[in-house]
């Protein structure tokens, strides 16, 4: 099984009910294969402290650990890579700063952006947003599962689907061709994040 597959959990300190480290711990125990540390409000020093703790958890369980946007934090904690948005650092510069073998993912909103990311050397693309999401207000208009199919057919990179994905619609996303499913609120807003993550993992792995 490719490392860029399965449940991809993204932290959100604003939505978390129990703290993001506890969220990550439960997601990993449920079978999550990728964790992305996403933090927009804290200082670099605070981020490094949190990210270091999460990185240790991920290494212990052989789970990929990525940092959203911040290459400095990724370097400081020896993360497995970074995830970049369209307005973030160019892939070429991030690749120079990171050591060889690190993973670089890029958020894309259409096939053109996906092909550009592929040409520039991205390791995967995150197709966004598939459904309506309140986690990221500036995510844009939902693209639907047709975008997954379009990118799957036109590009050769692994596809992570994100945006409003939950237990009720995850099957549609998988059938459209997503390699991995990124989830935030469906897990962290649950009264039992561990059980919510486990149910998502079971649905994702049930296709195999």
Copy the structure tokens of residue 88.
């973030």
Residue 93, C-beta contacts closer than 8 angstroms, at least 6 positions apart? none
141-178 tens-digit pLDDT: 899 999 999 999 999 999 999 999 999 999 999 999 99
Provide the residue count of the chain: 208
Look at domain 6-205 and name its CATH class.
alpha beta
| Percent of the chain surpassing pLDDT 70 | 95
Residue ranges per structural domain of the chain = 6-205
**Predicted confidence band of residue 208 (pLDDT cuts 50, 70, 90):** very low
- Give the Cα separation of 129 and 138 in Å (integer): 10
* Torsion angle in degrees (nearest 10) through CA of 113, 183, 16, 86: 0
- The pTM for the full model equals 0.95
The average pLDDT across 91-111 equals 94
Alpha-carbon distances, residue 40 vs 13, 44, 95, 113, 179 (angstroms): 9, 10, 22, 24, 27
**Predicted confidence band of residue 139 (pLDDT cuts 50, 70, 90):** low
């Amino acid at each position: 099984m490719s490392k860029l597959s399965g449940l991809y959990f993204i932290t959100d300190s604003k939505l978390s009910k129990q703290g993001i480290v506890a969220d990550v711990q439960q997601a990993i125990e449920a079978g999550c294969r990728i964790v992305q540390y996403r933090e927009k409000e804290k200082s670099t020093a605070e981020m490094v402290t949190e990210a270091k703790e999460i990185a240790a958890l991920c290494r212990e369980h052989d789970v990929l650990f990525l940092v959203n946007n911040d290459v400095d934090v990724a370097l400081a904690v020896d993360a497995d890579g970074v995830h970049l948005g369209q307005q973030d650092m160019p892939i070429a510069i991030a690749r120079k700063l990171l050591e060889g073998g690190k993973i670089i993912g890029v958020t894309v909103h259409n096939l053109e952006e996906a092909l550009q990311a592929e040409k520039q050397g991205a390791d995967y693309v995150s197709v966004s947003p598939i459904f309506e999401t309140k986690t990221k207000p500036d995510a844009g208009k939902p693209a639907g599962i047709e975008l997954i199919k379009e990118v799957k057919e036109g590009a050769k990179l692994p596809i992570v689907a994100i945006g409003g994905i939950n237990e009720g619609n995850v099957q549609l996303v998988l059938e459209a061709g997503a390699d991995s499913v990124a989830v935030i609120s469906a897990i962290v807003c649950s009264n039992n994040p561990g059980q919510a993550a486990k149910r998502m993992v079971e649905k994702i792995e049930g296709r195999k």
